[in-house]
Amino acid sequence: MSMSPSRLDALDWASLEQHLDQYGYAIVRSLLSAQTCERLSALYSQTEPFRSQVIMARHGFGRGEYKYFSYPLPTAIERLRTAFYPRLVPLANRWYERMNVPVRFPATHSEFVQRCQAAGQLRPTPLLLQYGPQDYNCLHQDLYGELVFPLQVAILLSQPGEDFAGGEFVLTEQRPRMQSRPHVVALHKGDAVIFAVNQRPVSGTRGDYRVTMRHGVSRLHSGNRHTLGIIFHDAS
């Protein structure tokens, strides 16, 4: 149950970065096989791989639930996290430079985790989400402490139209002095979406400005939906 790093090497990263620059997200089609998606979804019923469970309705987050993985992460999750991170660092550093944020990210994820630990962010943030009929996820940002990596990844583990209906992945973009712009991202089983966690730079007539991104999931009409979330910063 793994993904070869060579699968990421084969992607057109220049095109993905261009789409991230333009829209704040980019899709990687068929990143995981159907079998791997099913095995990851099946983890949700287990106790051992996880450190905590969150029932969204109890916190005003929406309806549905999710579980955070514990350290050591399952091998497949760890491989995804460590394989994606170095390929996103150049864009993350470029975004921070354009936004005049005086932070640069190290080349490897292990180095970044050390920074998180030094800042008191010790708890892993990769998570598995489960939605049933009428469930949804309110628009939000996955911020867990002072240190934030500006990109994250979500992988859909269920098939729209077969496993569930509704439940679209939604991004909103809040621009200065303008109304928010929504993006509905159409995903299939095994697809990954890379997207901005919080703010990203946009080129304007007077140079770069910041837009604020949020993400969520629209209401499920029927069925069950599982998603794997890969967040690179840890939680305090």
- Domain ranges across the chain: 13-230
Strands 136-140 and 207-217: antiparallel
> What pTM was computed for the model?
0.94
Torsion of CA 14, 149, 190, 173, to 10 degrees: -80
Q: Which amino acid is at 40?
A: L
pLDDT tens digit sequence for 19-41: 999 999 999 999 999 999 999 99
Whether pLDDT at 2 is above 70: no
User: In terms of DSSP bridges, do strands 169-174 and 207-217 run parallel, antiparallel, or are they unpaired?
Assistant: antiparallel
Three-state DSSP state, 91: helix
Strand partners, 10: none
pLDDT tens-place string over residues 153-184: 999 999 999 999 999 999 999 887 777 789 99
Topology of domain 13-230 in CATH is: Jelly Rolls (2.60.120)
Model confidence pLDDT, tens digit, residues 97-128? 999 999 999 999 999 999 999 999 999 999 99
- Which of 37, 38, 225 shows the shortest CA–CA distance to 131? 225
**Structure token pair of residue 159:** 């098939």
Angstrom distance (rounded) from CA 114 to CA 196: 22
When computed from its CA atoms, the radius of gyration of the chain, rounded to whole angstroms, is: 17
Q: Which residue has the higher pLDDT, 76 or 204?
A: 76
pLDDT at 142 over 90: no
